[in-house]
Structure 1
Amino acid sequence: MGILFVVCGIAVVLVLTLAGVSKFGRAAETAGAMREFGLPARWADRAAPVLPAAELGIAVCLLTPGVAWAGALAATLFMALVTMLVTVALLQNRHPSCNCFGQVRAAPVSWGVALRSLLLTLCAAYVLWTGPAQLDQGLLAAAGKLAATPGAAVLASLAVACLFLLQGWLSLNLVRQQGRLLLKIDNLEQRLAAAGIPEHQFAPLTGPLPGSAAPAFSAVTLAGAAVSSSTLFGNGTPSLLLFVSADCAPCQDLLADLLAWRGAHPPRDRLVIVTSGTAQANRDKLGGLIGADALLQEEREINALFGVVATPSALLLGADGSIAAPIAIGKDQIMALVQGTRARDGAGLPGRHIAYS
């Protein structure tokens, strides 16, 4: 009986504390919930600021010697009232928002909320039923006495089990939320496709904005020659700045397709390849796909200048050395960027900034 008494009492204290703390500073929201349950607006506006203090006061009373039994009585009556209000609302097919016991944020009530409130009411009633004698020293004293008995191990096991159950519940809800987000994303993609909007039309911008000047840098080619961005860009010829890596398998596929496409369609821009890794690794893995004039960065310092976070990536630079389009990431986007630029040039259309996701 001692273990059940302490568990029920501590559960009531924790729930009341959580409920009280979560309502502080949210009097307007609390008053709105009270009005939804049928309390007159005048009373709700007056009771809302007092409710958090009342919940915390009941929790403190349960822990305090001399007034613990009074706290148990108040907790039982209060939780019974909330349970009754929730049940009546549900029977009337109403679902008012409630920051009820165990909830950090207000949410529409359900039968699960009613069941939880009923269980907490029974816990408070059981603590009250034990009588003033056992509650005379307060719940903390009762918990301290229990810790000195063999029942403490049982209590600790129950606490650990509750923690595991809580972790499982949180994980399950996280997975469900992730599933809902994925469904919403799929729905949005289907609606965009139905509206004729290409999937890769929009994307968040990273790195320098289109129209801005390309960041200045210096580097060494695979052949060991020192070069600077001022000699590469802004000389009247557009440039395609391609970022790859020796350890990037998709980069090899992209380079093969890109070089084949440029061989079939004489390019009007200059291809500037920036790679990372050791010179020998690049020769071994990309030797047939990149030339000796490819730029070799010590780490990823050039990637950082242009906001490149993944390889392969590409940036289109205008004839004046300015950024002509946001970063294209991956083979499909890079090929779309290259082919789109060729199509516009062939049609005599002015270049425009295109965002790829």
Structure 2
Amino acid sequence: MMETVSLIIRLLLFGVFALAAIGKILDIAGSEKAFRDFGVPDPLVRTSARILPVAEYALAVMLLFAGVSWYAAVGSLMLLLVFIGGMIFQIAKGSDADCHCFGQIHSEPVGKASLLRNIGFGILAVFLVVAGPENQGLTLAETPVGAIQIIVLLTGFIMLAAALSYLKQTAERQATLQRRLEMLEMFSGEGGAIERDDMGSPEDGLPIGSPFPDFELPSAAGRIVTMEHLIADGQPVLMFFVGPDCTPCSALFPQILAWRNELAGQVSFVFVSKGTGTENLEKFKGMEADRILLQQKRELADTVLAKWTPTALFLDRDGRIASHPATGDSAITQLVEKIKREDLMRDFLFFSNSNGFAKPPKIGSRIPDFSIDDLYGKTFSTTDFVGHKALAVFWSLGCPHCRQMIEEIKEWERSASEQDPRLFIFSDGDLEAHRALDVRSPILLDKSYSVSSKLGMHGTPSAVLIDENGIIITETGIGSPNIWALLGKRRVFKTK
């Protein structure tokens, strides 16, 4: 019985490692990107992306033969432990790096599902390791010719599975393309192109971690709804910015209803539209009337920089912005797929539209240890950022936008209460020129911005919010409006 179990485990692990190797070979560029996302130094990326699938396939072949499968199990376990350690590190720092586990065949951002899957594979490898070299199960072939036949046959099955998976992905891409063509046809039927020269980038948005702006809007049911109402049940919110005259919204709406049903009890779906309740209820049949909020024009959408329709924005259970705007059917679908794979109750939950080149937000990271002097020689360290929320502002004397912020900072200092975050300004340059600014908040002279860069500085002016435990809880807000948005300094919108 145990010999049969050991053989089955060997065959399962053979399939896993052979499939992973073939998938990576089919997408070397994707493998290189995954290595970069996991922090592998650039000089090693190219070589690592080619060695890994070769090693995986070698282990897969060795697992077929009882005489050497124990050594393969040891190697497989070591490799899986490296994968698991890398995943835990990425999850701990809040990164959604793509694991690229099965290359072109199947890939997904690092998360709970991919971590548990690798732990399961690791348990199978542990079983073979503990069994010892003499107890690896039944032998598949007695002669070298038989061994070669087995390798060719099983590899053929794996390649067939890879081909079928690739065809499935191709069909899905064709379906997406067909849907977009249908949208273009619907647009052309309504009278040509729409000029949007003033709209800016679809990915513009308030920083992740910012409180969603307060609002009071009527629902299609006639009831006034606020942010407190939306998060009263303790669930995160997926907010869709739509319109009664938005043709792409109509095309996507059936899929939105399917997502809502799939995530029922986990995520609240809310529409923010304009126009009358009657026309919106007619347009979006199936949505609850009290979950369709009505703007007079675009006041709330403009506040959160949702400049296009449809756009989706994910809010955590505390009502903080937890994603970048996802604009259009493809981006919205990607966001929802990430949501479905995630533990929606975990702390520091967010979804980033990382393009593989931008640095991921430092949300959930503890601030590094440092010691730095202010303008008058007083030393500040990491401990000064613990016990009270703090806004770390990155500033420069030579930055005109920074100088325009001085009066805003002074106004903040005059109006801030004891409960508001403390403000610390990180800057570099002439001591006396900084003193002449006459601000009460500590200005910490950070030579070459060595500390600022570790806190998440992205140019000047920019800022991050740090909680009472010294944990960064927002992405970097760039520019004065986004810096104050980190503190929720937005006016309340009311629509009658």
Q: TM-score, normalised by structure 2?
A: 0.30
Higher gyration radius (CA): 1
Q: TM-score, normalised by structure 1?
A: 0.41
